[in-house]
Structure 1
Amino acid sequence: MNIALLGYGRMGKEIEKVALQRGHTIVHKISSDIASYDFTNVDVAIDFSIPSAAFQNITHCIKQQVPVISGTTGWLEKYDEVIALCEAEKGAFIYASNFSLGVNIFFEMNTYLAKMMSQLEDYNVDIEEIHHTKKLDAPSGTAITLAEDIMQHTDYTNWKLDKTEAADEIPIVAKRIPDVPGTHEITYTSSIDTIAIKHEAHNRQGFALGAVVAAEWIQNSVGVYTMKDVLNI
């Protein structure tokens, strides 16, 4: 499989290692001006760029009929535009706030726990996420996904960065510490006890592996998919 890497920072380099180990070829490493590259021999593009570049990268690939995997967060105000373009062009696209296979299992655990806790009014929920100091957005896309999944199954209607006094808002605390790949914890607290679930990444390899697995999966597909489709969960 010929892969174009859109963004060649830490994640791009980690994806390159995993892709080469799995027998694939990196044909482009693009950090700027995507329009100047020839995509005729590209089988799939993997985007881990920056928020300001992601929309252009993704739409360019869709218009070139190249399936695209995106793990860039911070651009989702234009997500609906990408979906509409993908449908119009009969393209193929997967976005995930986190491609880690373990995190996607964690997403399912979070949803299951939220359904159970929705019946218990004495508990308040909060989310904490910790990432490296070079992460540009806060809270993380993963934390937002966790909050949105909780909101779908409870009376919470919104999330807020840091503390909140509103009973229907989920507080998300975002910490930035050097060399932390990513930690997410959901805590339900009452006056008598605390229930918590946590995912802690030990390195970036899990994110890279999930992105490459998704790229392998989307070959010869048309449509908009998620990691649930990739993992059949």
Structure 2
Amino acid sequence: MKIALIGYGKMGKAIEAIALERGHEIVLTIDAHNTDALTADNVKKADVAIEFTGPHTALENLTKLIRFGVPVVSGSTGWLEKMPKLLSEISQHNGTFLYASNFSIGVNLFFELNKKLAALMHPHKDYTVSLEEIHHTEKKDAPSGTAITLAEQIMEVYTEKKKWVNDVQPAAEELLITSKRIDPAPGIHTITYSSEIDDITITHTAHNRKGFALGAVLAAEFIRDKKGVFSMKDVLDL
């Protein structure tokens, strides 16, 4: 499979290494120094594009890729309020798109555990729920996309929680996400249910970027010959 990498930082290079190990070919790399190379002619050399950039460039990059007709995997965070615009482009151009806030197989299993635990805990009103996420200091957005996904899953059960808040004292109807930036942590996410009697905590700790990179490549392999909008639940058959 021929892959275009849109975003060639630490994550892009980790994806490249896994893709090459799995016998794929990287035919295009785009970073901040060659954004003008993101053209239809260059992109059409690829079977799939994998996009990991930032909150300020993701929508523009993804819109171009969909219009160019290439299936796209994206892991950029911090832009999801603009997702309806992209979904309109995908519908208009009969595109192929897979988004995940986190591509790690372990994290996607953790998502399922989070939903199950929230359902078990919700009837027990003595417990308060909160989240914490820790990432390296180069991460540009806070809270992390993974933390937001975890919070939204909890709020689907805890319907009395109307929104999440970040690093402020929460009101009764708010769910607290605490964000910390500590090197070299690639990602630690913790959900805690706390009462006067005890605490119940689940944590996912990433040791490196390999899990994220492998998941992104598996996602690219999955969508290559498909049309529509997908998630890691489809890739992992969850």
Which category of TM-score, normalised to the shorter sequence, fits these structures?
over 0.9
- Structure 1 range deviating more: 161-170 or 195-204: 161-170
DSSP 3-state at the match of 2:203: strand
Question: Deviation of residue 56 (structure 1)?
Answer: 1.2
Question: Deviation of residue 178 (structure 1)?
Answer: 1.1
Question: Deviation of residue 165 (structure 1)?
Answer: 3.5
The corresponding residue for 1:177 is 182
Q: Spell out, residue by residue over 1:41-83, the C-alpha distance to the aligned partner (whole angstroms, 9 max, x if none).
A: 2100000111111111111111111000000101112111111
Question: Deviation of residue 163 (structure 1)?
Answer: 3.2
Given candidates 198, 204, 211, the residue that maps to 1:206 is: 211
DSSP 3-state at the match of 1:15: helix
Task: Report whether the alignment pairs 1:147 with 2:146.
Answer: no
Question: Deviation of residue 164 (structure 1)?
Answer: 2.3
Question: Deviation of residue 186 (structure 1)?
Answer: 0.1
Identity %: 55
The corresponding residue for 1:225 is 230
Task: Report whether the alignment pairs 1:53 with 2:57.
Answer: yes
For 1:21 and 1:140, the matched residues in 2 are separated by: 28
For 1:177 and 1:135, the matched residues in 2 are separated by: 10
DSSP 3-state at the match of 2:66: helix
Where structure 1 has 5 or more consecutive residues not aligned to the other structure, the ranges are none
Task: Report whether the alignment pairs 1:118 with 2:122.
Answer: yes
For 2:25 and 2:175, the matched residues in 1 are separated by: 43
- Structure 1 range deviating more: 135-144 or 116-125: 116-125
AA paired with 1:162?
D
- Structure 1 range deviating more: 2-11 or 47-56: 47-56
The corresponding residue for 2:136 is 132
For 1:203 and 1:81, the matched residues in 2 are separated by: 33
Q: Spell out, residue by residue over 1:159-183, the C-alpha distance to the aligned partner (whole angstroms, 9 max, x if none).
A: 0001324111111110001111100
Question: Deviation of residue 229 (structure 1)?
Answer: 0.7
AA paired with 2:16?
E
Contact map agreement 1:164 1:170 (CA 8 A) in 2: no
Question: Deviation of residue 37 (structure 1)?
Answer: 5.5
The TM-score with structure 2 as length reference comes to 0.95
Contact map agreement 1:122 1:190 (CA 8 A) in 2: yes
Contact map agreement 2:40 2:68 (CA 8 A) in 1: no
DSSP 3-state at the match of 1:166: coil
Contact map agreement 1:129 1:172 (CA 8 A) in 2: yes
For 1:170 and 1:102, the matched residues in 2 are separated by: 24
The corresponding residue for 2:191 is 186
The corresponding residue for 1:195 is 200
Question: Deviation of residue 35 (structure 1)?
Answer: 3.2
The alignment yields a C-alpha RMSD, in angstroms, of 1.0
AA paired with 2:205?
E
AA paired with 1:182?
G
The corresponding residue for 1:87 is 91
For 2:29 and 2:170, the matched residues in 1 are separated by: 46
For 1:147 and 1:74, the matched residues in 2 are separated by: 15
Q: Spell out, residue by residue over 1:128-169, the C-alpha distance to the aligned partner (whole angstroms, 9 max, x if none).
A: 000000000000000000000000011212100013241111
- Structure 1 range deviating more: 15-24 or 154-163: 154-163
For 1:167 and 1:35, the matched residues in 2 are separated by: 49
Contact map agreement 1:96 1:227 (CA 8 A) in 2: yes
- Structure 1 runs (4+) greater than 6 angstroms displaced: none
The TM-score with structure 1 as length reference comes to 0.97
